[in-house]
Chain A
Amino acid sequence: MTWGQLAALAGLGAFHGLNPAMGWLFAVARAMQERSRPVLLKSLPPIALGHLASVAIVAAVVSATSSVVAANIVGITGGAVLVVFGLWRLLSERHFRWAGMRLSSTQLAGWSFLMSSAHGAGLMLLPVLAATPVAGAHAGHVAASGPPLAALSGLGAAGLHTVAMFAAMALCAVLVYEFVGVAILRKAWFNMDRLWAAVMVGAGALTIALTA
């Protein structure tokens, strides 16, 4: 991984963390409900964990596949999947559906996993993961040790991404809970879904361009 790729993974993590729908708002709501800062802080790790699981699955699969299949095939196929998924997100009016708000930590992690998966959070890392050169000396070493180790490097990427996501999420949650208040949502809750979907289509096209 180059510094540029690491920065991209972290940047996407921060982007995911900023989205109120990805979890920090849920943490804030739970804390406001109980009038308790500890509830806020305790809600964040399960949300990050659910996000990690969702992203890690995609990252591990992509990295492991890249180690045994020509990287450009993975890149082109993955890029196409990403474009299609992005267009679907952009054009479909479907909302994530979930009725409950009183969740245990485990359920909260599950909620975060589903929310992240439904939004294709892991797919968004594809350009970074697929662009990791498999023919290079370092990557060649990974390839030589086969899919398991390559998958591990994918997990590492997902981990870094999630740390950045957690940092952005925690910052938003604490700022809104302690200082700003939820009224900010009325003006500042930008339609991330639309932007998100557009980013996906762009990332997919970029992946294809880079690997074709």
Chain B
Amino acid sequence: MTRWTPDPTFYPTPRDAAGAPAEQLAYVAAFDRSAERPDAIAVVDTEPSSDTYGRVVGWTDLPHTGDELHHFGWNACSSALCPAAPHPHVERRYLIVPGLRSSRIYVIDTKDDPRAPRIIKEISPDEFGASGYSRPHTIHCGPDGIYVSALGNATDGGGPGGIAVLDHTTFDVRGKWEADRGDQFLAYDFWWHLTRDVLVTSEWGTPDMVENGIVPELLLGREYGHRLHFWDLAKRSLTQTVDLGDQYQMTLELRPAHDPSREYGFVGVVVSVEDLSASIWVWHRSATGDFGVTKVIDIPAEPADTEDLPPALQPFGAVPPLVTDIDLSVDDQFLYVSCWGTGELKQYDVSDPFHPVEVGSVRLGGIVRRTPHPSFPDERLAGGPQMVEVSRDGERVYVTNSLYGSWDDQFYPDGVGAWLAKVDVTPGNFTLDPKFFPHGDEFRGLRVHQTRLQGGDASSDSYCFPSA
């Protein structure tokens, strides 16, 4: 059903979106590592004046087991205002929720009771497989459909991975997005510069390279992804590939500038096999019109005693930071970087994207440190800041602590637990909210991955109009 006026959560410019009201609820993907119980979407109260603030207030259990919920997204967002194919009267109401392991996709309606979203459609693995892909990962609401990246092909757990498109309204699988993929084989994340007709994709590994855990031989053999791909969004063809260098293993999360008149963005690299450091790079248009990448942040490994390390890391005598997620505030001023290995969330001022300045840091968990939350000082935390989500106004940052089932087990073999923390951001201040820390049994023994904020967040929407 369409509306008479545009959905109030759609904003033409990033500046308009940064003035959006605070979210009252957060949706969190929660999964059962043993695949014996169904995964779920947990609903968390984020309204500070509420009695149940910082608590899980609703659950949507899935009908199947073994999905491994991971990333998810909205059916529609501010890109619906884009003038080439506008559809501003649709509603942002459905969460498109893929099972990364099962290749099943759920469409979940949040409208009638936002605290008890209802599953209205299931896309079976076979239906999704008709696109030629499996292991759906990132969701973005595009101008002409819902785009879904996928790690692997639909047949044997290998590649190529790529992008499938779902219909905006029926959510049926329309098919493969790429018309010409060139030599792109590995896939992971994608996003775009909508007004420039540029789509960017990154690389992790095919399902058989990641599903049973990180494979040391592949890592040391520099076989995981280390490239970025730039595509013509309108022609659906690969236009350019940039190699960061094969020591930079796993170019994961892509965070383009929200300002549509700018053509740069950040990508996080999980680990360098030369020194276990992690890094952040900027892609940008060079004078010749091609894209280039420049490393702008290096985060070194931290030395550690062998007995404090899990078996996978004992040969190295150090903890890698493992930058597994990054998020850019809607005003493009701050970049948040999750160091899942060392247990730290860093805040950088990136108003000059080529010269980031670290301005804040919070420590939680970590392979060796196990830093507790200030409100629960006796509980040593496993996992570390991982999926990071920033509110539209940039004042609140939410982090969850699970990376991916089989990888959690390797780096946190004694159990990764489950927690969701919130950091309050004011000028010159970057501190944990003592009242907001749903964790442990509150998540019913499930692990938690991505958080999505009601009405949209810093990684959900694209804008077609520059802030004046």
Q: Mark B70-104, 1 if CB is under 8 A from A, else 0.
A: 00000000000111111111100000000000000
Assess the A25–B4 pair: CB atoms within 8 A. no
Per-residue A-contact encoding for B1-35, CB less than 8 Å = 1, 0 else: 01111101011110010000000000000000000
B465 touches A102 (CB 8 A): no
Contact residues, A162-212 vs B (CB, 8 A) = 181-183, 185-191, 193-194
> At the interface, yes or no: B194 with Cβ under 8 Å from chain A?
yes
Judge if A20 is at the interface, Cβ distance under 8 Å. yes
Across the interface, which residues of B come within 8 angstroms of A26, CB to CB? 83-84
A97 CB within 8 Å of chain B: yes
- Can you list, as one digit per residue, whether each of B155-183 has a CB less than 8 Å from chain A (1) or not (0)? 00000000000001110000000000000
Interface size for A (C-beta < 8 A) is 32
With contacts defined as CB atoms under 8 Å apart, how many contacts are there between chain A and chain B in the complex? 109
Q: How far is the CA of A97 from the CA of B147 in the complex (A)?
A: 14
Contact of A137 with B by CB under 8 A: no
Q: Is B234 an interface residue (CB 8 A)?
A: yes
Bound form: Cα–Cα A187–B81 in Å: 12
Instruction: Report Cα–Cα, A188/B169, bound state, in Å.
Output: 23
CB-contact partner of B260 in A21, A33, A181, under 8 A = A33
**B261 on the A face (CB < 8 A):** yes
The answer for the CA separation of A99 and B145 in the assembled complex, in Å, is: 9
Q: Does A9 contact B (CB under 8 A)?
A: no
**A99 touching B233 by the CB < 8 A rule?**
yes
B464 in contact with A93 (CB, 8 Å): no
- Which chain B residues lie closer than 8 Å to A190 at the CB level? 4-5
Evaluate contact between A96 and B2: CB separation under 8 angstroms.
no
Q: State whether A186 and B10 are in contact (beta carbons under 8 Å apart), knowing that A33-B195, A191-B5 are contacts in the complex.
A: yes
* Contact A102 B197, beta carbon cutoff 8 Å: yes
In the assembled complex, the CB of B219 is this many whole angstroms from the nearest CB of chain A, namely 36
Whether A194 contacts B2 in the complex (CB less than 8 A), given A93-B169, A98-B143, A101-B464, comes out as yes
Q: Name A28's contact: one of B83, B86, B194 (CB within 8 Å).
A: B83
Render B208-252 as a binary contact track against A, CB cut-off 8 A, 1 for contact: 000000000000000000000000011010000000000000000
Residues of B within 8 A of A96 (CB): 85-87
Q: List residues of chain A with CB within 8 A of the CB of B6.
A: 185-186, 189
Q: Would A186 and B4 be within 8 Å (CB), given that A29-B83, A95-B87 are in contact?
A: no
- Residues of A close to B81: CB separation below 8 A: 185, 189
> Chain A residues near B83 (CB, 8 Å)?
20-21, 25-26, 28-29, 101
Tell me which residues across on chain B come within 8 A of A93, comparing CB atoms: 2, 169-170
One digit per residue, 1 when the CB lies within 8 angstroms of any chain B CB and 0 when it does not, for chain A 1-38 equals 00000000000000000001100011011001101000
Say yes or no: A101-B197 contact (C-beta < 8 A), given A185-B6, A186-B8. Answer: yes
**Residues from chain A with Cβ under 8 Å of B260 in the complex:** 33
Separation of A45 and B336 alpha carbons in the complex (Å): 45
Question: Is B468 positioned at the interface, with any CB of A under 8 Å from its CB?
Answer: yes
B5–A189 CB distance below 8 A? yes
The answer, yes or no, to whether B466 is at the interface (CB within 8 Å) is yes
B455 at the binding interface (Cβ < 8 Å): no
CA of A61 to CA of B465 in the docked complex: distance in angstroms?
Answer: 39
User: Would you list which residues of chain A between 95 and 117 have a CB under 8 Å from chain B?
Assistant: 95-102, 111
Question: How far in angstroms is the closest Cβ of chain B from A47?
Answer: 10
| A94 in contact (CB, < 8 A) | yes
Whether the pair A100, B197 counts as a contact (CB closer than 8 A) is yes
The docked-state distance in angstroms from the alpha carbon of A32 to that of B466 is 6
* Given known contacts A183-B16, A194-B4, A97 and B85 CB-to-CB distance under 8 angstroms: yes
Interface string of B183-214 (1 = CB under 8 A from A): 00000000000111100000000000000000
Q: Quick check: is B144 within 8 A (CB to CB) of the other chain?
A: yes
- Residues A99 and B16 in contact in the complex (CB < 8 Å), given A185-B6, A185-B88: no
Please indicate the chain B residues that have their CB under 8 angstroms from the CB of A188 in the complex: 5
| B89 touching A32, Cβ below 8 Å | no
Give A182's nearest chain B residue, CB to CB: B12
A192 to B34, CA, bound (A): 51
Q: Would B13 and A182 count as touching, CB distance under 8 A?
A: yes
Interface assignment of B142: CB less than 8 Å from any CB of chain A: yes
* Shortest Cβ distance from residue A108 to the other chain B in the assembled complex, whole angstroms: 10
The reply to whether B465 and A29 form a contact with Cβ atoms under 8 Å apart is: yes
Q: Which residues of B lie under 8 Å from residue A99 when comparing CB positions?
A: 84-85, 142-144, 197, 233-234, 236
What residues of chain A lie closer than 8 Å to B464, measured between beta carbons? 29, 101
**Contact (Cβ within 8 A) A186 B16:** yes
List the A side residues contacting B2 at CB < 8 Å. Answer: 93, 191, 193-194
Cα A87 to Cα B233 in complex, Å, equals 33
B89→A191 contact, CB < 8 A? yes
A24's closest neighbor in chain B, by CB?
A: B83
B183 to chain A, nearest CB (A): 23
In the complex formed, the residue of B with least CB distance to A183 is: B16
Considering the chains assembled together, what is the distance between the CA atoms of A20 and B88 in angstroms? 11
The residues of B that contact A32 with a CB separation of less than 8 Å are 261, 465-466, 468
Q: C-beta contact mask, B250-292 vs A, less than 8 Å → 1, else 0? A: 0000000000110000000000000000000000000000000
Residues of B within 8 A of A182 (CB): 12-13, 465
Inter-chain contact A102/B196, CB cutoff 8 Å: yes
Q: How far is the CA of A37 from the CA of B334 in the complex (A)?
A: 31
CA distance A29 to B88 in the complex (A): 15
Please indicate the chain A residues that have their CB under 8 angstroms from the CB of B11 in the complex.
Answer: 186
**Contact in complex: A20, B86 (CB < 8 Å):** yes
B interface residue numbers (CB < 8 A to A): 2-6, 8, 10-13, 16, 81-90, 142-145, 168-170, 194-197, 233-234, 236, 260-261, 464-466, 468
| Cβ contacts A to B, 27 pairs, < 8 Å | A21-B86, A25-B86, A29-B82, A29-B465, A32-B465, A35-B466, A94-B169, A95-B144, A96-B85, A97-B144, A99-B143, A99-B144, A99-B233, A99-B234, A99-B236, A101-B195, A102-B196, A182-B13, A183-B12, A183-B13, A185-B6, A185-B81, A186-B16, A188-B5, A189-B5, A189-B89, A191-B4
In order of increasing CB-CB distance, the 5 nearest A-B pairs are A100-B234, A26-B83, A182-B12, A25-B83, A97-B144
